[in-house]
């Protein structure tokens, strides 16, 4: 079995992350298909990608030729079975729901070739549990991209308990070809990024509750004092307070009370203050 010769990529889920992942895959020279259950979502994502590639041209970061070639490598798939049968690498970017991901991996693993790599872009769910639902769990790996995918340099590779070393080697090469810097972590709750990111954000929320400083001051302190590009409360507004609450609850279950979500986070989510997407979070938009 060989996992090395990846040419055809299928991205499942054409939302924020799926569109970005398809864009970097096509830019890296892979023939890339994009599938979504919601009718029209993949086609809409292709329009978004075309716009994003145009912006890169306008900023002088890419040539018009590179844009044309990347777009020629991209297709919106309507038939998941046919698209999966053709793929050497599948990257799943469906919503953060363990049951949904397990169902998808069970289905995908029956459709793909034996040497196809199956990757999940989960930001916090156990890769090993997703892999256990698949036929051939040794080919399952976490490829955790960051938002916005074409800009963020990091690819956090998560190897599950049963991931084959050959798949890990292939994943590192794929990441490098996509222009990413790779960090490899064991399948521990929250990996490296989500766990540290949440820890900082929860402490910032507790400081806000205790009246240590305002949201602006807490964020500015960490931005200017430690060189973070964005403070933890502003970042929570970007990611979504509901998303961060769900991750905190998951990590509390796995790692204990230190990830207990502060009351302020629960209250704001209950009130529909979800951050940028709802117009208000720790800041107003
Ligand atoms: P999103 O809601 O923007 O997109 C998810 C897409 O999946 C939607 O278009 C939806 O129609 C589609 N979908 C739902 N069920 C499906 C199915 N069964 N088959 C195919 N498509 C299906 O979500 P997102 O923000 O792109 O997140 C996707 C994944 O990436 C999640 O696991 C999330 O935790 C992870 N992630 C998100 C970010 C982020 O900043 N948004 C960063 C890193 C990782």
Question: What's the whole-model pTM score?
Answer: 0.93
pLDDT tens digits, 106-128: 999 999 999 999 999 999 899 99
Instruction: Tell me the C-alpha to C-alpha distance, in Å, between residue 195 and each of 101, 216, 250.
Output: 21, 23, 11
Q: Name residue, tokens 């716009």.
A: 51
- Phi and psi at 218, nearest 5°, equal -60, -45
- pLDDT tens by residue, 184-238: 999 999 999 999 999 999 999 999 999 999 999 999 999 999 999 999 999 999 9
- The pocket around ligand 1, CB under 6 angstroms, is made up of 12-18, 36-38, 41, 93-96, 100, 104, 121-123, 146-147, 239
CATH tag, 193-270: 1.10.1040.50
Omega before residue 148 within 30° of 0, cis: yes
* Nearest-angstrom CA–CA distance, 200 and 88: 38
Start and end residues for every CATH 3.40.50.720 domain found in the chain: 8-186
Assign domain 8-186 to a CATH class.
alpha beta
- Residue 137 predicted with pLDDT over 60: yes
Which of 40, 87, 93, 239 best tests ligand 1's pocket when mutated (most atoms within 8 Å of CB)? 93
pLDDT tens-place string over residues 138-161: 999 999 999 899 999 999 999 999
Helices marked H in the chain: 16-27, 41-58, 64-72, 80-86, 98-111, 127-132, 165-177, 193-209, 215-226, 232-239, 241-255, 263-270
Q: Which of 199, 150, 201 is nearest to 178 (CA)?
A: 150
Alpha carbons 134 and 104: distance in angstroms, whole number: 9
What per-residue confidence (pLDDT) applies to 96?
86
Query: CATH 1.10.1040.50 residue ranges in the chain?
Result: 193-270
Please tell me the distance between residue 1's alpha carbon and the centre of ligand 1 in angstroms.
30
């Amino acid at each position: 079995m060989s996992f090395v010769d990846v040419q055809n990529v299928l991205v499942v889920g054409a939302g924020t992350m799926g569109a970005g992942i398809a864009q970097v895959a096509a830019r890296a020279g892979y023939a890339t298909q994009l599938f979504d259950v919601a009718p029209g979502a993949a086609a809409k994502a292709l329009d978004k990608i075309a716009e994003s590639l145009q912006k890169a041209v306008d900023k002088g970061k890419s040539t018009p030729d590179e844009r044309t070639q990347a777009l020629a490598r991209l297709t919106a798939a309507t038939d998941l079975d046919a698209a999966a049968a053709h793929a050497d690498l599948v990257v799943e970017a469906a919503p953060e729901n363990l049951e949904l991901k397990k169902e998808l991996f069970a289905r995908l693993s029956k459709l793909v070739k034996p040497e196809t790599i199956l990757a999940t872009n989960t930001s916090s769910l156990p890769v090993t549990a997703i892999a256990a639902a698949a036929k051939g769990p040794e080919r399952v790996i976490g490829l955790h991209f960051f938002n916005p995918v074409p800009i963020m340099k990091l690819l956090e590779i998560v190897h599950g308990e049963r991931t084959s070393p050959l798949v890990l080697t292939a994943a590192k090469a794929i990441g490098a070809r996509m222009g990413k810097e790779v960090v490899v972590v064991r399948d521990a709750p929250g990996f490296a990024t989500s766990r540290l990111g949440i820890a900082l954000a929860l402490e910032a929320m507790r400081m806000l509750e205790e009246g240590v400083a305002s949201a602006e001051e807490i964020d500015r302190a960490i931005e200017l004092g430690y060189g973070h590009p964005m403070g933890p409360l502003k970042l929570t507004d970007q990611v979504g307070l509901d998303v961060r609450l769900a991750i905190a609850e998951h990590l509390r279950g796995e790692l204990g009370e230190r990830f207990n979500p502060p009351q302020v986070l629960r209250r704001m989510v209950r009130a529909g203050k979800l951050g940028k997407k709802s117009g208000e979070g720790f800041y107003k938009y």
